[in-house]
Amino acid sequence: MTDSPLPSDRPKAASSAALRLFRPVLFAVGVIGLTFGALIVIHGKQEPRPPSSPAQSADSGPPSGTPAPDIDAAGTLPEPPSAPPLTSADFQGFQFKPSEPHGEAEQPASDHYDLTLRLERGDTVEKLLADIDVAESDRKQIDAALRTLLKKRRLAIGESIDLQLQTLPDQDGPRVLSLSIRPQPEREYVVTRKDDGSYDGQEKVYKVSPRIVRVDAVRQGSLQQSATKAGAPTPAILDFIRALSYDVDFQRDLKQGQHFTLLLEQLVTSDGRVTHPGRLLAGELRLTDRTIIVMRFRPHGGAEGFYNPKGESVVRSFLRTPMDASHITSRFGMREHPILGFSAMHTGVDFGAPVGTPIFAAGSGKVVMAGPNGGYGIFVKLQHTDQIGTGYGHMSRLGPGIKPGVMVRQGQVIGFVGSTGLSTGPHLHYEFYRGGHPVNPLAQKFAMRATLGGKDLAHFKALARDYQSQMKNAPHIAEMPPPALKQKEATAATATSGG
């Protein structure tokens, strides 16, 4: 049996437990109260310092060396004497800083501006002017003046129309001050607003003159790619490659980093616009062991062609290689076929080159085959003589006008490099036939070249000296200034009124 307090003892036990719980709290409150009481007693013992009287302040006096001011009976100080007025003499030796300007006043924005529009399919000049909110009366006058100038000639899609416009505060659309169209570099049509508000048309014809420029470049990639990056036009590059093809083995002789120079004759208008990007006059290629120079010349009564500095024609019976190829990937002879996997006779030479590289006819002849040909892919076969023929395989496409039965000239583009048929990558498969049988193209000997003589040779020698000098001293094509964007007058321009 467990002992338990009697009912009468339970209230006492509860109060005793509460006292035990709150005893620490009561002790802390007591300590805080005693602390505050002690602070109050200590503060009360400190007597306040009485304020100093005016007499004591006066006894202390001013600082040494300073006369004491007179004080009246009421204890107030007298009014200090007034300072003398400032004169101009007091400011001698001083310079006043001028006030900073607030900046130049902003110039009002010009109300004239230029705009170039481009003709799209279905557009007319009047429709383009309507699209930019030109007033209808002005549109009709401009269109009529332009039609008079063009004389039923049609403007091509994509033609640029240069406008000089003026904004007007009292109307939404602009006013056309002038309109010019230049469909050919040497010919420009201009419609201008006159003081009375009507429009007058002018046709300007610019004088065209030859200009000699040079292209200096370093071979990085193929010869054609390097010349294009340097600014040479494609027709001139192809002429250069064809002229070199008789004496340069593009696989063995060409190396990266070799320098070459092209001398071009451009046609330029009197205001600096190029009407012809430049035909090749001469070219120089610096190989590892020799320098090849070719120059354009037309002998009396003969066809224009390229010659070396000795006056010898570069043309042989056949090109050494039919393209500007970067490397030989497979030679003539027995090999293991890369696709079929067995040894077989490789009846030609493979030249690796990028897709689209032009392929030239190795010699003049007749096309006897042009199109798909089994493992050869797109294939062209030329018959040059009764005994000699050449074949070109794996083309991406045929050259312009190439089909069976047509005649081609040496150096003519007959197709472009591809990878059609049984091919592991873009290349030209080139075959050479003697008596109908394939032989090694790289082992063939070709006929000697023609040579200039007499007056033709003397004329050529003088021209060759001039070309070689200009290949060093002519301005570089990259140094030519761009044409003036807004050329209003031509040196040799003729004008006709157009209403």
What is the model's pLDDT at position 93?
59
pLDDT computed for residue 94 by the predictor: 54
pLDDT reading at 153 higher than 70: yes
User: What would the pLDDT profile of 425-458 be if each residue is shown by its tens digit?
Assistant: 899 999 999 888 999 888 876 655 667 888 999 9
Highest mean pLDDT among 73-77, 87-91, 151-155: 151-155
Burial (CB < 10 A; 0-12, 13-18, 19+), residue 362, is buried
pLDDT at 473: 93
Question: Model confidence at 391, in pLDDT bands (50, 70, 90)?
Answer: very high
Among 1.10.101.10, 2.70.70.10, 3.30.70.60, 3.40.50.300, name the CATH number for the domain at 327-443. Answer: 2.70.70.10
Positive or negative, the Cα torsion across 242, 246, 248, 252? positive
Question: Residue 170 to residues 141, 330, 482: CA-CA distances in angstroms?
Answer: 21, 78, 39
Global pTM value: 0.52
Is the per-residue pLDDT at 293 higher than 80?
Answer: yes
Query: Of how many residues is the chain composed?
Result: 499
- Identical topology for domains 209-315+474-479 and 327-443: no
Mean per-residue pLDDT, 53-61:
46
The domain segmentation of the chain, as residue ranges, is: 112-205, 209-315+474-479, 327-443
Burial of 416 (0-12, 13-18, 19+ CB in 10 A): buried
Predicted confidence at residue 452, as pLDDT, reads: 85
Q: What is the helix (H) or strand (E) element at residue 354, kind and residue range?
A: none
DSSP string, 391-435: EEEEEEEEPTT--TT-EE-TT-EEEEEB--SS-SSSEEEEEEEET
Q: Answer whether residue 330 shows pLDDT above 50.
A: yes
One CATH from 1.10.10.10, 3.10.20.30, 3.10.450.350, 3.40.50.1000 for 209-315+474-479 = 3.10.450.350
pLDDT digits (tens, 9 = 90+) for 11-36: 555 556 656 666 776 777 777 777 77
The predicted pLDDT at position 21 comes to 66
Range of lowest pLDDT (52-56, 271-275, 464-468): 52-56
Indicate whether 377 pLDDT > 80.
Answer: yes
Average pLDDT over residues 110-124: 87
- The more confidently predicted of residues 369 and 249 is 369
Average pLDDT score over residue span 259-268: 94
Q: Is the pLDDT score of 335 beyond 80? A: no
Average pLDDT on 185-192 reads 92
Alpha helices in 248-337 (DSSP H): none
Q: Which CATH architecture has domain 112-205?
A: Roll (3.10)
